[in-house]
Structure 1
């Protein structure tokens, strides 16, 4: 979403991990981020570049060993559009508050593209009070937005 606010030309984008990124749309410079839903897949974010770091057990997963992840692989934010309301200065984002336990299968090394598959089970996100869907608003002028 392109936003002009406070003399800045901004770009906001949100991915399946539910992280709302605030960038200078002319230079691409990282200006901040907001965790819009509870997440436990990233352990840290570089304060200068915003580059996230995965949890070690996600990077080095073991077939048959369960991995807990919030949000789910379906995403904390998925295909529904995010929008901007200029009179209020708010960015509106539809979100999903669900987590999963995933048990990765053994990789398929035959080269036919089938992968190893995984078993997934879903549960409500901590702090969601049973509300799996959420419509959230974020002030674009806040530094961490």
Structure 2
């Protein structure tokens, strides 16, 4: 299975925040949308950074509540690792595990086309393994 297949099932819509939104505003945005990370983009198609719950925790640990008034551009992760739609779920899992993050933006020709989470990838991998097990059982039974 590929990342494209995951996005075709899940949807390609990606919600983003502007780099000037405050850390507090972004925290509320994450909570309201029940998500753990958000792409920071000033135009909705290019990636300026990614803001995760971990970034916010680090900000609070270093700056206290005063950090909540900063723009997300000051705390976001700027060097964003992405993948393409042709990545397999194995490649996506390997990237996420190696880099130690749970959200992976998907780009094609430099344009943001989706985002997948470790939950998306694990769910599809479990489905794949279950399907393989059923096929083996059917083969043995026949």
TM-score band w.r.t. shorter chain:
under 0.3
Normalised to the residue count of structure 2, the TM-score between the two structures is 0.24
Structure that is richer in helix per residue: 2
Structure that is richer in strand per residue: 1
Normalised to the residue count of structure 1, the TM-score between the two structures is 0.24
